[in-house]
């Protein structure tokens, strides 16, 4: 997309402050903008209520109000069925398989930049604009936002180049607090609406209860990974995430008095293994088939990898193949869960060294990503299959 060209833009408006300002900026950039709120639940009351979700009737009203203030047409698109199939069902299935999914990422991949983008294109739009904090470089690469605390490039890294080419992220160059100030100045009532953090389709934020409801409860053992000793019981392995420390309900403390963490989850025998933090350490990560946003590479290369949203970044050697990525971390990472994305970044050297570099290509660039399948230690056999851990 060329700068200065008037495009027909579909602004996805969640009812929050970010997407409202993003839509207003798209208008100001000279585009012909239409606002759309995505209805993701057939029965909005069952999803989050209150002012912080993404799928309530209030959110839809807030989005409509913002569109009216901005002065753009506004529609609600019913994406409830697609969302349920591609995001909610996937969420259940992943947990049932002992993995830890990221539904926001799945929603970007399957709904916002797939179903919605496809429909928008068919209806004659050129691009979809969202309130995500990420930048698109002049080189077309997806880059981290200016505001590191808000950066959402991780949950967008699953987009393919064609999807990215038709996306706009008008907020990537602005810190969140300034976006709020701008919303206030623009007279958008959502300026002070709190951020949404949790999973939008879990009304009360109780993920474990939500999963129990669907997947049922089945008693299983919590076992010490080293000794094989049974330490306690749980009512469903799907309630756990690798690296989890709280909520294990173990009565006896470890011999050394140190906290214990979930090391692995085996759904077939409903078994949860726990152990000390050191045992969570991994330095080799395998993914499923990668999506390349940068030029596809075939030789091993040095890069930084991120293993969950807002997680730490690890220097690594990435060994690519069409079937999957392998990342050899230079230092170990802890609590890496299968089902999350491994996102490979090319660190922005200029950002650190050369203040005169072109502003258009700043921020770490996403090279590729893949879904984490298995993890292990360099010198040990890699555990594979559904369960992550050592």
Partner 1 sequence: MPYLDHAATTPMLPESLDAYVRVARELGNASSLHGSGRSARRTVEESRERLSEALGAKPSELVFTGSGTEADNLAVKGMHWARRTEARNRVVTTAIEHHAIADAVAWLGDHERADVTELPVDEVGRVKVEALAELLAERAAEITAITCMWANNEVGTLQPLEEIAALAEAHGIPVHTDAVQAVGHVAVDFGASGVDSLALSGHKLGGPAGAGALLLRRDTKVTPLLHGGGQEREIRSGTLDVPGIAALAEAAVIAVSRQKDEATRLAALRDDLVERIRAAVPDAIYNGDPVDRLPGNAHFSFPGCEGDALLMLLDAAGVECATGSACSAGIAQPSHVLLAMGAGEFDARSSLRFTLGWSTTQADVDALLAALPESVERARSAGLS
- Residue 216 is a binding residue for partner 1 (CB under 8 A): no
Q: CA-to-CA distance for 36 and 212, rounded, in angstroms?
A: 33
Least spacing, CB of residue 104 vs partner 1, in Å: 21
Least spacing, CB of residue 67 vs partner 1, in Å: 11
Q: CA-to-CA distance for 43 and 131, rounded, in angstroms?
A: 25
Is 107 assigned a catalytic role? yes
Q: CA-to-CA distance for 74 and 38, rounded, in angstroms?
A: 11
Is 14 annotated as belonging to a binding site? yes
Residues 25-54 touching partner 1, rule: CB under 8 A, are 34, 37, 39, 44
Stretch near partner 1 under the rule CB under 8 A, chosen from 78-86, 144-152, 167-175, 350-358: 78-86
- Residue 334 is a binding residue for partner 1 (CB under 8 A): no
Q: CA-to-CA distance for 272 and 260, rounded, in angstroms?
A: 12
Least spacing, CB of residue 71 vs partner 1, in Å: 14
First to last CA, the chain: 45
Task: Give the residue, chosen from 29, 49, 51, 64, that forms a contact with partner 1 under the rule CB under 8 A.
Answer: 64
Q: Which residues pair with 301 in a beta bridge?
A: 318
Stretch near partner 1 under the rule CB under 8 A, chosen from 56-64, 173-181, 311-319, 331-339: 56-64
Pick between residue 23 and residue 390 the one whose CB is nearest to partner 1. 23
Q: CA-to-CA distance for 193 and 104, rounded, in angstroms?
A: 20
Instruction: Find out whether 246 and 261 touch, Cβ atoms under 8 Å.
Output: no
Phi-psi region of 377 (alpha: psi -120 to 50; beta: other; left: phi over 0): beta
Residues 116-135 touching partner 1, rule: CB under 8 A, are 119, 122-124
Instruction: Find out whether 306 and 290 touch, Cβ atoms under 8 Å.
Output: no
Is 104 assigned a catalytic role? no
Least spacing, CB of residue 76 vs partner 1, in Å: 3
Pick between residue 116 and residue 159 the one whose CB is nearest to partner 1. 116
If we measure between CA atoms, which residue out of 232, 223, 191, 276 comes closest to residue 20? 191
Catalytic residue from among 54, 55, 104, 200: 200
8-state DSSP, 152: -
Pick between residue 44 and residue 335 the one whose CB is nearest to partner 1. 44
Is 7 annotated as belonging to a binding site? no
Q: CA-to-CA distance for 218 and 330, rounded, in angstroms?
A: 39
Size of the site for partner 1 (CB under 8 A): 21
8-state DSSP, 253: P
Instruction: Find out whether 113 and 293 touch, Cβ atoms under 8 Å.
Output: no
Mark the binding-site residues, compressed into ranges. 12-19, 38, 131
Binding site for partner 1 (CB under 8 A): 34, 37, 39, 44, 57, 60, 64, 73, 75-82, 115, 119, 122-124
Residues forming the active site: 107, 200
């Amino acid at each position: 997309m060329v700068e200065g060209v008037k495009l027909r833009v579909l602004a996805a408006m969640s009812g929050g402050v970010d997407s409202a300002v993003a839509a207003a900026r798209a208008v100001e950039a000279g585009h012909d903008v239409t606002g759309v709120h995505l209805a993701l639940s057939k029965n909005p009351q069952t999803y989050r209520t209150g002012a912080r979700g993404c799928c309530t009737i209030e959110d839809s009203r807030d989005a409509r109000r913002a569109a009216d203030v901005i002065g753009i047409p506004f529609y609600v698109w019913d994406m409830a069925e697609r969302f349920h199939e591609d995001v909610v069902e996937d969420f259940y299935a992943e947990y049932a398989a002992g993995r830890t999914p990221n539904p926001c990422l799945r929603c970007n991949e399957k709904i916002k930049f797939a179903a919605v983008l496809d429909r928008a294109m068919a209806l004659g739009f050129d691009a979809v604009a969202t309130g995500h904090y990420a930048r698109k470089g002049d080189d077309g690469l997806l880059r981290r936002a200016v505001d590191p605390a808000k950066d959402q490039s991780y949950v967008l890294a699953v987009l393919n180049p064609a999807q990215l080419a038709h996306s706009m992220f008008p907020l990537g160059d602005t810190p969140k607090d300034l976006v709020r100030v701008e919303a206030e100045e623009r007279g958008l009532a959502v300026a002070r609406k709190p951020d949404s953090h949790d999973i939008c389709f879990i009304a009360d934020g109780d993920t474990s209860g939500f999963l129990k409801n669907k997947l049922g409860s089945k008693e299983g053992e919590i076992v010490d990974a080293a000794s094989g000793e049974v330490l306690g019981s749980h009512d469903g392995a799907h309630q756990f995430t690798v690296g989890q420390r709280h909520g294990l309900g173990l009565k006896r403390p470890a011999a050394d008095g140190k906290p214990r963490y979930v090391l692995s989850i085996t759904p077939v025998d409903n078994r949860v293994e726990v152990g000390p933090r050191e045992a969570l350490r991994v330095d080799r990560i395998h993914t499923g088939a990668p999506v390349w946003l940068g030029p596809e590479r075939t030789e091993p290369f040095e890069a930084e990898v991120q293993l969950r949203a807002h997680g730490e970044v690890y220097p690594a050697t990435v060994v690519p193949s069409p079937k999957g990525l392998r990342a050899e971390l230079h230092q170990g990472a802890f609590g890496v869960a299968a089902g999350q994305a491994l996102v490979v970044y090319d660190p922005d050297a200029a950002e650190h060294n050369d203040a005169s570099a072109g502003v258009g290509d700043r921020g770490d660039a996403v090279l590729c990503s893949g879904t984490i399948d298995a993890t292990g230690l360099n010198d040990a056999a890699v555990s594979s299959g559904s369960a992550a851990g050592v």
